Amino acid sequence: MAKKRDGGGLSRTQQAAKFLGVSVLAGAVLAGLALPAAGALGLAAKGSVEGFDEIPANLKTPPLSQRTTILDADGGEIAKVYSRDRTVVGLKDMSPYIQKAIVAIEDARFYQHGAIDMKGILRAVNKNARSGGVSEGASTLTQQYVKNVFVEEAGNDADKVAQATQQTIGRKVKELKYAIQVEQELGKRKILQNYLNITFFGQQAYGVEAASQRYFSKHAKDLKLEEAALLAGIVQSPSRYDPVNSPKEATRRRNTVLQRMADLKDISQAQADAAAEKPIDLAVSRPKNGCITAVDGAGFFCDYIRKVFLGNKTFGKTRKARLKLWDQGGMTIRTTLDPQTQKSIQASVSKHVYDDDPVASAAAIVEPGTGRILGMGQSRPYGFGPNQTQLNLSVDENMGGGAGYQPGSTFKPVIAAAALEQGTSPYQQYSSPYRMPYPSPVQTCNGEWTGTESTQNENKREVGPYGMKEATAKSVNTYFVQLISDIGICPAVKMAQGMGIERADGRKLQEVPSMTLGVQEMSPLTMAAGYATFANGGQYCSPVAIESITGPRGKAMKVPQGSCRTAMSKRTADTINALLKGVVEDGTGKQAGLKGRDSAGKTGTSDDRYAAWFVGYTPNAAGAVWVGDPLHNRKMYNITIGGVPHEKVYGADTPGPIWRDAMTGALAGRPAPALPTVPINDPGKDKGDDGKGKGRDRPGRGHGGDDKPGDRWHLPGFPDILGGGDGGW
C-alpha cells in the first residue's frame, strides 16, 4: 500500500513517479501524432522545450570525442591525447557477449519495443509508486543513447553537462522525440553500436573499446563472457561498480548481469554459473593521456603541435571551432619530428645540463630548405613535479614559450648579411677599438637614432683594425657596431625579418644600434630557422611541424603548408658560410666543430651572462642551443652546470658542446655534403688573444679556416680587393 504524506494524499516521490509516468505516456502519444506546439502542453517555460522542433542534424551519428595519436616522421608514436579516451569501432569489432550483456541488463526488450517501452514505463511507475521511491527506471537504451549525445555535445562545460542531465519535463520530452527520430532513421543495430561507443565505463574510458583496453588490455572483439558481463554491469554506476577500486561490488553486479543473460536465454544457466565462479581477472592499462607521456623528451614538441593546431585557421575560422575539433579528436597526426634527431638532441642536453642545475638549456634543430622541425628538447622535463616545467623554452611566447633570451653575438651574422647585401666588402676594415661609443646619429627605417651609449669588447687586447672574417671569428663587438652604423639600422631589421628572426614576445624589433649585439630576446627555434637560411642559399623556410593528418573516418585533412622566401642572394649566403666556417674551425666556436663534415656557426653570450648560445648548421640541419635562467635572474658566473664548474660561462664551452653532440648523433649515417663558400683571404691578425684562447667567447688564433695562400675576393667587373675599406663589393 502506498505511503501517504502528512495530511493525506500521495508522497512527493509518488507524485513525481505518477507525474513522470503520465508525462511520458502523454509525450509518447503526442510524439506519435507529430506533437503540437509546446505551449499547448504548458511546457514552454524557459529551459524546458526551447528549440523543440530544431532537431540537430548530427544527432543520428554525432562526432564522438576520441583519442588523437601523434606520430613522429617515421610513424612511431609520440603520444596519445584526448578529451575523452575513446576509440570508435563497429559491431563486428565488439564481442557478441558485450552486445547481449548490455541489452540484457539495460533494456531487455530493446528489440521488441520502439523508442519508448510502454510496458516498461507502466511497470516502473507502478513499482516506484508502491515502494515510495525510485527503485526502477524506464528509459530505453535508445533514450539513454540520446541523453549521452546531449552530454557528449556539452563537452567539458560543467554548466552544459548539468543542463543536459537535468531532471525536467522539457528535457525528458525532448529526449523522447529525439529517440523516436533515431529509431526511425538508424535502426536497432546502429543504435546499439552507437550506444556502446558513446557510453562511459569508468576509469576515464568512454566506449567499449577503450574500456576493454583499460580493464583487460585487449580489444573489445576479444572479450570473454565474464569480461563482457563485468563491463556491462559498470554502466549503471561507474564509480560504485568500479572493478579496480570496488572488486566485490563489481563481482556482484557482474553476476547479476550473467543471471539476467541466462534468464533471457542469451546464454545457458550452466554458462552463467561457470562464469560467475570465476574471480575478476583484470589486466589494467593505466591511462596514458597527453604530452606528459611522450618519450625522448618530445613532450614539448607534442605540446607545440597542439599550439600549431589551435592557432592555425586551416583547422577552423575561430579558436573555438579549432578547440572543438581538437577535443573531438580521432585524428592521426604525423609530424616532422625525426626520432634519431630527437633522441640525440635530448641525450645531449641531458648530458651537459642537469634538470636540477640552477640554469636550464633548450635546443631545436630544423631542416634547411623545408623548415621541418627535426628535434626539440630541453634539460627540464615536461611535467608538474620538481625541476619540471610545461614552459617550452625552445619556442616563442605565443606558442607556449617564454619571452625569449638575448641571443648575444649569434645575431652578428644577420648584420653581416645585411651589410653584404648593401654592397659592403667582406674585406671591410674598421678600427674596432677596445671601447667606443655608438656612432650617433644612425639612420633607421623612419628617421634616425641618436644616443650616448657605449660598448666594448670582451677583453682589452681585442683592438683592431679588423676585417669582417677575423671580426666574426673573434666576435668583436666594436667592429659590428661600426658596421651597422655604416649601413644603417633599417637594412639589418629587414634582413632579420626576411630570415624569420623576430622577438619571442611578438613585439617589433627595436631599431637601435645595439641590436647588432643581440640584446633583443629570441627563441632557439627562431634562431635555428634563421640560420638555416645561410645553409639554404639565402632561402628562408618557415618552421613546419605537421606533415599530414588523417581524420576520424580515415579521410585526409588539410594541413598548413610551410612557405619559403628569398632573404638574401646566394652569394651573400655563401659568404656568410665562409665567415661562420671560420668560427668553428679556428674561432670562438672550435669546441662545437663537427668531425668529418662541413659545419658553420656562431657563439653568443648576453650582457652579464644571463644567456649563452651556439647556433650553427650543416647543409642538412640547422640547430640552436641556449643555456641560461628562464627567469633571467641567475648570472652564469662561478656556477656548476652538468657537474662542470665554470668561472664564466661562454657560448663556446657549454652550448657549443651540446650542439656538437646533438648534431653528431642526429646526422650519424647520413650524407655529409659540403657547404658552398666564397673564398675570403684573411690578413691573419692575431690581436685580442689573452694567451689562453679566451677572446670574446673564447676565440682561437683568429684565422678563418678557408684561408689559403693566394685567396682573393673577386667579383666580375671589379678589381681584386685585399683588405680595403671602401665597401667595393
Q: How large is the average pLDDT for residues 531-559?
A: 95
713 in any annotated domain = no
Q: What is the pLDDT of residue 608?
A: 87
Residues of the domain holding 130? 86-277
Number of domains making up the chain:
2
Q: How far apart, in whole angstroms, are the C-alpha atoms of residue 289 and residue 185?
A: 35
Q: HSE (CB half, 13 Å, CA atoms) of 342?
A: 24
Question: Using one digit for the tens of pLDDT, what is the confidence trace for 711-727?
Answer: 333 333 333 322 222 22
Identify the band that residue 286 occupies on the pLDDT scale cut at 50, 70 and 90: confident
CATH (domain of 660): 3.40.710.10
Of 277, 300, 321, the residue that ends a domain is 277
Q: Tell me the pLDDT tens digit for each residue of 670-726.
A: 999 999 999 988 665 444 443 333 333 333 323 233 333 233 333 333 333 222 222
pLDDT at 58: 55
Strands 373-378 and 360-366: antiparallel
CB atoms within 10 A of CB 208: 33
Where is pLDDT greater, at 588 or 476? 476
Most confident of 49-63, 165-179, 319-333: 319-333
Which of the two residues, 34 and 67, has the higher pLDDT score? 67
Look at 8-22, 26-40, 355-369 and tell me which has the smallest mean pLDDT. Answer: 26-40
SS3 category, 436: strand
* pLDDT value of position 117: 76
Does residue 496 register a pLDDT over 90? yes
DSSP 1: -
For residue 593, being part of any structural domain is answered with yes
**Distances, alpha carbon 669 to alpha carbons 376, 482, 595, in Å:** 20, 43, 13
Angle at 172 between CA 171 and CA 178, to 5 degrees: 90
Question: Tell me, what's the pLDDT at 131?
Answer: 57
Let me know how long the chain is.
729
Question: Residue 170 sits in a domain of what CATH number?
Answer: 1.10.3810.10
Task: Name the nearest CA neighbour of 485 among 530, 457, 515, 506.
Answer: 515
Please identify which residue in the block is written with the cell numbers 619540471: 388
Among the residue ranges 216-230, 482-496, 680-694, the one predicted with the least confidence is 680-694
Q: What is the predicted pLDDT for the residue at 128?
A: 52
Q: Does residue 658 sit within a domain?
A: yes
Note whether residue 290 is domain-resident: no
* Residue 576 maps to a domain: yes
Domain annotation covers residue 361 = no
Rounded average pLDDT over 578-602: 88
- Whole-number pLDDT of residue 575: 97
Residues 265 and 413 both lie in one domain: no
Q: Which of 245, 277, 309 is a domain's end point?
A: 277
Give mean pLDDT, residues 112-130: 68
**Farthest-apart Cα atoms in the chain, separation:** 116
Average of per-residue pLDDT across 225-231: 98
pLDDT of residue 156: 66
- Whether 284 is in a domain gets the answer no
- Residue 552 has what pLDDT? 86
pLDDT of 515 above 70: yes
The CB-side HSE value for 571 (13 A sphere, CA atoms) comes to 14
Mean pLDDT for the chain?
Answer: 84
The predicted pLDDT at position 206 comes to 93
Per-residue confidence (pLDDT) for residue 182, from 0 to 100? 86
| Residue among 207, 153, 154, 144 at smallest CA distance from 179 | 144
Nearest to 464 by CA among 481, 484, 488: 481
Among 146-160, 330-344, 596-610, which stretch is predicted with the lowest mean pLDDT?
Answer: 146-160
CB 522 within 8 A of CB 396: no
For residue 420, what is the DSSP state? H
Average of per-residue pLDDT across 99-108:
96
**Separation of alpha carbons 180 and 186, rounded Å:** 10
Which string of DSSP letters, residue by residue, matches 439-502? PSSEEETTEEE----EEE-SSTT----B-HHHHHHHT-HHHHHHHHHHH-HHHHHHHHHHTT--
pLDDT band of residue 424 (cuts 50, 70, 90) is very high
Is position 36 within any domain?
A: no
If we measure between CA atoms, which residue out of 458, 462, 466 comes closest to residue 426? 466
- What percent of the chain shows pLDDT beyond 70? 80
Last residue of a domain, one of 277, 300, 333: 277
Please give the pLDDT value at position 138. Answer: 56
The neighbour count for residue 678, using CB atoms within 10 Å, is 21
Q: What is the pLDDT of residues 255-266, one digit of tens each?
A: 999 999 999 999
Confidence of residue 476 (pLDDT cuts 50, 70, 90): very high
Which residue matches cell numbers 629570441? 522
